[in-house]
Amino acid sequence: MNAEIVSTGTELLLGKNCNEDARILCEVLAKCGIDVYRYTTVGDNIERVSEAYSEALKRADVVISTGGLGGTDDDVSKQAASLATGIPLEKNEKIEKFLKERNVHSQRIVDSFSHMPKGALLFENTVGVAPGIVIPIDKKYLILLPGPPSELKSILKSGLEEFLRKLGKACILNETVKIYGMRESEVEEIVHDLTLSKNPTVATFLKKGWIEISITAKARDELSARKMIDKMKNEILKRFPPECVGKKEETLEEEFYNLFLKKHLTISTAESMTAGMLASKIVNVPGSSAILKGGVIVYSNEAKEKALGVSHRILEEYGAVSQECAEEMAKNVKDIFGTDVGVSITGIAGPTGGTKEKPVGTVWFSVCHENEVKTWKRVYAGERNEVREMATNDVLEFIVRNFWENT
């Protein structure tokens, strides 16, 4: 059993919205044992949407459309479905009554909304007014869903997911292993022979701050798929040092939080280039006030002197992007807030400001704990915000993986 997704909406083609619906549906279809081979995005045009439906139905057993379903002038999905399948729209009295109970006074909208494809199965939408529509076509199915993700999820819970599960008669499971502190090429080399496996499949993906090894298995039931996943995962784990492997159930900031909580430590941050991104990452985790006591954003040299007490001599002699400045920032912020750990980031995010000695992407980090200070430099490639994000993730990763490795 295979499926295709057709997302309708000119706003998607203009880049104004991300395709959250496709992500949700891909996850659900995998759980139901239905393979997704492609998804298409089409603007709000009846002829083009109809053509997309017709083409998808030639290839797939199930075609799921999202968006373009409502009681307004951009309601194209039902009309396009009728054009593609030859199935007429007819008034559904239950839907008409439902709309009137919802105080939809416009007769034009009531007429548009209450017309459904003949013989369609309807699934309740408890969040909005447009139901999920399943159109059977010669042992295939065209499924029309509204665009808002909250409404799509509501319809799935109202029975559509169970309907898809019965169609799939299988289970597809996916699990990931996160690898830190290694390049993607290194990880690929280590698992190259495993990526040749057909079931389960193994693939590597570059993420912001780590490499993700994805394992996907398809079997007749969840238990069988789980056994296949676990066997492959164990083989992967044998090949990497334990300190490089992240916990699957935790984000990097959650690992960071749990480490500090376990060791009863507090932290404060001094950020120049990242301008608060590190502190923001830390507070993504509920309860982070137990470990983060404060942070300082010091973008200019004057701010580094006045707010953090970085000496004028260091800034003049070595510059703000230097080992010496990073160390003073970490030591001083630790003292200011009275925390166990002080951490600093200072660098050149670009696109301007670089020199031959300190090119764009140069970042200095420093972590101060008790009387121990660890300072290091990285030079990143990428656009401004990519450099800032990579630097933020790297300092969290360094602390989680290395800072207390011998304590």
Q: What does 233-256 look like in DSSP terms, one character per residue?
A: HHHHHHTS-GGGBPPTT--HHHHH
Q: Could you give the CA distance from residue 228 to residue 218 in angstroms, rounded to a whole number? A: 9
pLDDT at residue 13 in the model: 82
Q: What is the DSSP letter of 88?
A: P
Q: Could you give the CA distance from residue 187 to residue 237 in angstroms, rounded to a whole number? A: 12
The DSSP string of 221-235 is SHHHHHHHHHHHHHH
Give the pLDDT band (50/70/90) at residue 186.
very high
Backbone phi and psi for residue 144, each to the nearest 5 degrees, phi listed first: -110, 125
Q: What is the gyration radius of the CA atoms in the chain, in angstroms?
A: 27
> Which tokens hold the place of 377?
């430099």
Q: Could you give the CA distance from residue 378 to residue 376 in angstroms, rounded to a whole number? A: 7
Alpha helices in 115-159 (DSSP H): 149-155
Is pLDDT above 60 for 72?
no
Domain span(s) for CATH 3.30.70.2860 in the chain = 172-244
Alpha helices in 267-340 (DSSP H): 277-282, 301-308, 312-317, 323-337
**Residue labelled with tokens 């199915």:** 141
CATH of 2-168, one of 3.20.20.70, 3.40.980.10, 1.10.760.10, 3.40.50.1820: 3.40.980.10
Domain span(s) for CATH 3.40.980.10 in the chain = 2-168
pLDDT at residue 407 in the model: 45
Domain span(s) for CATH 3.90.950.20 in the chain = 252-403
Mean pLDDT across 298-323: 96
Mean pLDDT across 5-13: 88
Cα 159 to Cα 20, 105, 152, 175, 299: the distances in Å are 20, 29, 12, 26, 54
pLDDT digits 0-9 by tens, 41-55: 999 899 999 999 999
Give the pLDDT band (50/70/90) at residue 220.
confident
pLDDT at residue 119 in the model: 93
Residues in the chain, overall count: 407
Task: Report the topology of domain 172-244.
Answer: Alpha-Beta Plaits (3.30.70)
Q: Could you give the CA distance from residue 387 to residue 381 in angstroms, rounded to a whole number? A: 7
User: Cβ neighbours of residue 181 under 8 Å, at least 6 residues apart?
Assistant: 243, 244, 397, 401
Mean pLDDT across 318-346: 97
Mean pLDDT across 202-231: 90
pLDDT at residue 70 in the model: 62
DSSP-derived 3-state class of residue 121: strand
Q: Which homologous superfamily does the CATH classification assign to the domain defined by 252-403?
A: CinA-like (3.90.950.20)
Instruction: Assign 3-state DSSP to the chain and report helix, strand, coil percentages, each to 5.
Output: 45, 25, 30
pLDDT at residue 104 in the model: 57
Is pLDDT above 80 for 299?
yes
> Which tokens hold the place of 87?
């199935």
pLDDT at residue 404 in the model: 57
Q: Could you give the CA distance from residue 384 to residue 180 in angstroms, rounded to a whole number? A: 22
Mean pLDDT across 276-288: 95
User: Cβ neighbours of residue 268 under 8 Å, at least 6 residues apart?
Assistant: 292, 293, 294, 295, 296, 333, 334, 336, 337, 339, 341, 342, 343
